[in-house]
Structure 1
Amino acid sequence: MAYNLVPEAKQGLAKFKSQVATEMGVPFTDYNGDLTSKQCGSVGGEMVKRMVEQYESGLK
């Protein structure tokens, strides 16, 4: 079970995940059981990559 440290961020993260998945051509829906682990992992990895880049650009 996933816990959100900031519950208010849940909707924003869902929107971000959907945006990244769409850009990558991964068909995310309410049910993602038909997707491969590689597809899901690639979306999660890209999300983390973008969040780190955003954070690092804020440090400059």
Structure 2
Amino acid sequence: MSRRSNTLVVQQAKAALQQMKFEVAQELGIQIPQDGYYGYMATRDTGALGGNITRRLVQIAEQQLQGFRR
């Protein structure tokens, strides 16, 4: 049994998250490995990538919550 904590709740979101990853990487000037293996990337780059994705997801959630309050 897998106990991964990063399992997607909405499987359809996978493509959108992948697209966001590539957009953020391009903005930061980070080259994403073609084979999908991140083991050779610098920790600083993967951290920056993950941090910026998280920041963007929080911004999206905040915008959606503001829409509910109106």
* TM value normalised by structure 2: 0.72
Q: CA deviation at 1:56?
A: 1.5
Q: Which structure 2 segments of 5+ residues have no match?
A: none
Amino-acid identity (%): 28
Q: CA deviation at 1:11?
A: 0.8
Q: Which structure 1 segments of 5+ residues have no match?
A: none
Q: CA deviation at 1:31?
A: 3.2
The answer for the alignment partner of 1:17 in structure 2 is 21
Query: Alignment RMSD, CA only?
Result: 1.5
Cα deviations across residues 9-51 of structure 1 (Å, max 9, x unaligned)?
A: 1011001000000110010133333211110111110011111
Greater helix content = 1
Write the letter of the residue equivalent to 1:42: A
Compare CA radii of gyration and give the structure with the larger one: 2
